[in-house]
Structure formats: structure tokens, C-alpha cells
Amino acid sequence: MGEALLIIDMSNDFVHDEGGLTAGKPAQAIVPYIIERAEAFIAEGKAVVVCMDAHEENDPHFDLWPRYNVKGTWGQALYGPLQEWYEEHKDHPNVFYVPKPEYDAFFGTNLDNILKEKQVDTVHLTGVCTDICDFLTAYGAYSRGYKTVAHAKGMATLTDQHDLFLNHMAAIFKTEIR
């Protein structure tokens, strides 16, 4: 079977210094690693899926968090070099963009269908935030029978919980940590 790389929530709002809910420098630091992995996956004929929060103006998430990733805004766009990478590769048959309404990239999206169509059995996780969307997407993958691999050098968060949640992924979802 196959493998897919998920690039989770690497938007301006989560990565740029002026983002609405930014992880800032730690998120910016992982961009080269994510691009390197994406290039390798494409070269090996594997799928790359950009999974992106996509919220309405009045989304209930804004009762908990500052306004972020509102559909069609600068904040929801992919961050800098990742946007450039995506523009260059978006027409490739193994590159996909999946807008998501919730933390888990599988919930309410066609991600599972894409992965099944590409005969994927192993999902590689990168992006932000380790302890929120990455963690819950690992659960979404695990609960659907996928093997999960978390790329520690390709994940970041806005809290101090990065290592704790990588350990939780390994313990709870049998995620391989690289």
C-alpha cells in the first residue's frame, strides 16, 4: 500500500508573525523540512495533502480562540514558501487541498476518500499545532485504520506541549515518531 504526507494548517494565521493565532518562529522553522518532505513524497509517487482550517466569519471556534483562518482571507492562505510550493505543484495528480471545519482533518472532509483512492495505508503528519490539529488528525487516521507517522521536526505548536503530545500519539495511537 501507499503513504501520504499531510501538511496541516500551515496558514498565515498559524505561522506568520502577524497571524491571528500564530505559533510564530517555531512554525516558521519547520517550513523547509515540510517542503523537503513534500518534494520527496512527490518524487516517490506518493500523495501530499494540504489540510487547512476553513472557518466562516461567525464560526463557534471564535468563542474559544481569536479569529483565524476565515475562508478566503490572507490569514487562511498557506504561509509564504509553502504557498509558492503549492502553486508550483497544485496541478500534480498526487497533490490535494482539503479544507476542514474542525481540528481533525478527517472530520467533515473528503480526506479519507482521497487516501483510499490513492491506496494509502500510512499517513505522515506535519504542520501545526502538535497538541491540537496534529494530535486530533492522528486520532482521526488511527480510528480509520491508518498507520501514523509524526514528523517531530515538521511539527510545532503555540504551547509548551509539543513533546508531551508526540508521546501521547506514540502511546495512544501507536504513532511512529520520526
Quickly list DSSP for 137-170.
Answer: HHHHHHHTT-EEEEEEEEEE-SSS-HHHHHHHHH
Q: Cell numbers 511512529 correspond to what residue?
A: 176
Are the C-beta atoms of 175 and 165 separated by less than 8 Å?
no
- CA count, 13 A, side-chain hemisphere, 159: 10
> What pLDDT is stored for residue 145 in this prediction?
97
**Residues with Cβ within 8 Å of residue 30, at least 6 apart in sequence:** 126, 127, 153, 154, 155, 156
- Is the confidence at residue 129, as pLDDT, over 80? yes
Are the C-beta atoms of 123 and 148 separated by less than 8 Å?
yes
**For the chain, which domains are there?**
2-177 (3.40.50.850)
Global pTM? 0.96
**What's the pLDDT tens digit per position in 38-77?**
999 999 999 999 999 999 999 998 988 889 999 999 999 9
φ, ψ (nearest 5 deg) of residue 59: -60, 135
Q: Which three cell numbers stand for residue 152?
A: 517531530
